Amino acid sequence: MFNPLLKSAEESGERNQFIFFGILVAVILIDSIILVIGDHSIDINDHLDNTDEWEITFSNMSLTSNSEVLISDNNEEVVTFEIPSNLSDDGWMVQEIYILITYGETSLGDFDCDTVSAEFDHDEKTGVSSVSEQSSGESSDCTEIQMNKAWRYYVDGVYDNISKLEAENILEMEDVGIDVYAYIRVNTDSTIPNNDNDENISVDFTITLQKVESITRV
């Protein structure tokens, strides 16, 4: 016998089944998408974390300054070079500090060049060891004084067995944003008594900076 209530219950059951399978398919689809995204992120991490070979290129830049200082007999002056800290935003680091000190004899008729002694130091941020250093010098015959401190110089090429993060941070040198201090002392020498009380000293700073320009997986 025909029972409308029974038919209605059957239809309702089919509809519920349809909704259930619909939700099931949607859940499976979402799971698949998550799995794909998950696999992809693992793949990206592989590139970042695993050691590999990277071709790295570098850029160089020089900062220079010249100062003329008049230093009296038995006195010392400090000449400071401030390396701007905002250069670190672009990844620049200090590869070399070079200081050239030159002078002549400004006392008229005096044939004995004064004795000039110099040394330098600088603030430290990274404290990385230098590869060469000449931190003081002296001259008593008007020859120039050269002082320097250099860290490893990086050349373009393939660097292997490093991660991408290590490639990005490969430069091991001093950070920018430090001050360099040159201490210069004068002791006058003279062929004419009481004729020479000072000397004019020229101080040239050349600061070489390096940064990572590009990193390419090879």
Which residues lie near Ca ion (CB under 5 A)? 107, 110, 112-114, 140, 189-190, 196, 199
Cβ count within 10 A of residue 73: 14
As to burial, measured by CB atoms within 10 angstroms (0-12 exposed, 13-18 middle, 19+ buried), residue 188 is buried
- 182 Cβ contact list (under 8 Å, min separation 6): 78, 79, 80, 81, 99, 101, 118, 119, 120, 147, 203, 205
The nearest distance, CB 192 to Ca ion, in angstroms, is: 9
Question: In this structure, are residues 180 and 203 in contact, taking their beta carbons and an 8 Å threshold?
Answer: no
Q: What are phi and psi for residue 33, nearest 5 degrees? A: -60, -45
Closer of 140 and 216 to Ca ion (Cβ): 140
What does the alpha-carbon distance between residue 25 and residue 182 come to, in Å, rounded to a whole number? 75
Closer of 108 and 155 to Ca ion (Cβ): 108
The nearest distance, CB 184 to Ca ion, in angstroms, is: 13
- The HSE-up count of residue 87 (CA atoms within 13 Å, CB side) is 22
Q: Which helix (H) or strand (E) holds 184?
A: strand 179-187
The nearest distance, CB 105 to Ca ion, in angstroms, is: 5
The nearest distance, CB 116 to Ca ion, in angstroms, is: 9
Closer of 96 and 199 to Ca ion (Cβ): 199
Cβ count within 10 A of residue 71: 20
Dig out the tokens for 98 from the structure.
């070079």
The nearest distance, CB 102 to Ca ion, in angstroms, is: 14
Closer of 62 and 195 to Ca ion (Cβ): 195
Residue carrying the six token digits 């002549």: 104
The nearest distance, CB 199 to Ca ion, in angstroms, is: 4
Closer of 52 and 196 to Ca ion (Cβ): 196
Closer of 3 and 194 to Ca ion (Cβ): 194
